[in-house]
Structure 1
Amino acid sequence: MLSRWLTAVVLCLMAATAQADANADHWQYTVRPGDTLWNLCERFAQDPVFCWRQLAANSAVDDPYRMSPGKVILIPLAWLKEQPMPARAERVNGQVWLLVGNNDPEPVENGAEIAFGDTIETGEAGSVVVRFADNSEVAVKPDTVLKVNHYRRFVDVGNEPTELQLERGAIRNTVTPRDTDARVFRVYTPGVMTAVRGTEYHVRVTDDAVTLSEVVKGEVEVAAARSATPVPAGYGTLARDGQAPAQPVKLLPAPEVTLKAGGRSLRAEWPPVEGAEAYSVELFDADGVLRQSEQISEPQWRAKPQAGEYQLLVRAIDARGLRGQERLLDATVSKGAWPWDALLFIGGAGLLLAL
Structure 2
Amino acid sequence: MAAGLVLLGSASADERAAGANWAHITRPGDTLIGLADAYLTRPSDWQQLQSLNQVENPRRLQPGQPLLIPFKMMKSVPVGAEVLMVNGEASVRSRAGDETPLQAGNWVRVGDKLHVGAGSNLTLRFPDGSRLLVLEQSTLTLSKAVRLGKSDTYRIQIDLSEGSVDSRVTPLKQRPGQYEVRTPALRMSVRGTEFRAAVGATRKLTRGEVLAGRVRMSGAGREVVLGKGFGTLAALGEAPHASRPLPVAPDLRELPTRLERLPLRFPWPQAASAHSFHAQVFDSRDSLVLDGVFGDGGAKWASLGDGDYTLRVRAIGSDGLEGVNASHRFTLAAQPEPPFASTPRDKGHGDSTRFSWTETAGVVAYHFQLASDAGFSQPLLDLPALAATETTQPVALGHYFWRVASIDARGKQGPFGDVQRFEQKPMPASPQASSEIGDEKLTFRWQAGEPGQRYLLQLAKVADFSEIVVEQETDRAVIELARPDAGDYFMRVKAIDSDGFAGPFGTTQRIAVPSRFPWWLLPLLLVPLAH
Alignment of 1:90-101 (within 5 A): 90-101=84-95
Asked if 1:339 is matched to 2:334, the reply is no
Alignment of 1:187-202 (within 5 A): 187-202=181-196
| Per-residue deviation, 1:104 | 2.9
Partner of 1:234: 229
Partner of 1:164: 158
Of 281, 284, 307, which residue of structure 1 is paired with 2:282? 284
Q: Distance in 1 between matches of 2:232 and 2:29?
A: 46
Of 103, 118, 121, which residue of structure 2 is paired with 1:124? 118
| Structure 1 stretch displaced more, 232-241 or 334-343 | 334-343
Partner of 2:360: 354
| Per-residue deviation, 1:120 | 1.6
Q: Distance in 2 between matches of 1:215 and 1:201?
A: 4
The answer as to whether partners of 1:132 and 1:153 remain within 8 angstroms in 2 is no
Distance of aligned partners of 1:231 and 1:106 in 2 relative to their CA distance in 1, 3 Å threshold: same
The answer as to whether partners of 2:185 and 2:206 remain within 8 angstroms in 1 is no
The answer as to whether partners of 1:259 and 1:267 remain within 8 angstroms in 2 is no
| Per-residue deviation, 1:230 | 2.1
Distance of aligned partners of 1:342 and 1:94 in 2 relative to their CA distance in 1, 3 Å threshold: farther
Of 240, 248, 251, which residue of structure 2 is paired with 1:253? 248
| Per-residue deviation, 1:283 | 1.6
| Per-residue deviation, 1:317 | 0.3
Distance of aligned partners of 1:62 and 1:86 in 2 relative to their CA distance in 1, 3 Å threshold: closer
Larger proportion of helix: 1
Distance of aligned partners of 1:59 and 1:226 in 2 relative to their CA distance in 1, 3 Å threshold: farther
Partner of 1:10: none
Letter in 2 for 1:95: E
Letter in 2 for 1:115: R
The answer as to whether partners of 2:280 and 2:311 remain within 8 angstroms in 1 is yes
Could you tell me the TM-score, scaled by structure 2's length?
A: 0.52
Distance of aligned partners of 1:191 and 1:351 in 2 relative to their CA distance in 1, 3 Å threshold: closer
Partner of 1:106: 100
Cα RMSD, aligned residues only: 3.6
Partner of 1:310: 309
Q: State the Cα deviation string for residues 284-309 of structure 1 (Å, max 9, x = none).
A: 22222212211111102222322222
| Structure 1 stretch displaced more, 55-64 or 313-322 | 55-64
Letter in 1 for 2:255: L
How many correspondences in the alignment? 309
Q: State the Cα deviation string for residues 312-331 of structure 1 (Å, max 9, x = none).
A: 11111001100111011111
| Per-residue deviation, 1:264 | 3.2
| Per-residue deviation, 1:122 | 0.4
Q: State the Cα deviation string for residues 210-251 of structure 1 (Å, max 9, x = none).
A: 111111111233332243322110111101221111111111
Distance of aligned partners of 1:60 and 1:234 in 2 relative to their CA distance in 1, 3 Å threshold: same
| Per-residue deviation, 1:203 | 0.7
Residue aligned with 1:246, SS: coil
Distance of aligned partners of 1:43 and 1:208 in 2 relative to their CA distance in 1, 3 Å threshold: farther
Residue aligned with 2:215, SS: strand
Letter in 1 for 2:360: A
Alignment of 1:317-328 (within 5 A): 317-328=316-327
Letter in 1 for 2:325: E
Distance of aligned partners of 1:291 and 1:181 in 2 relative to their CA distance in 1, 3 Å threshold: closer
Of 18, 34, 51, which residue of structure 1 is paired with 2:34? 51
The answer as to whether partners of 1:314 and 1:326 remain within 8 angstroms in 2 is yes
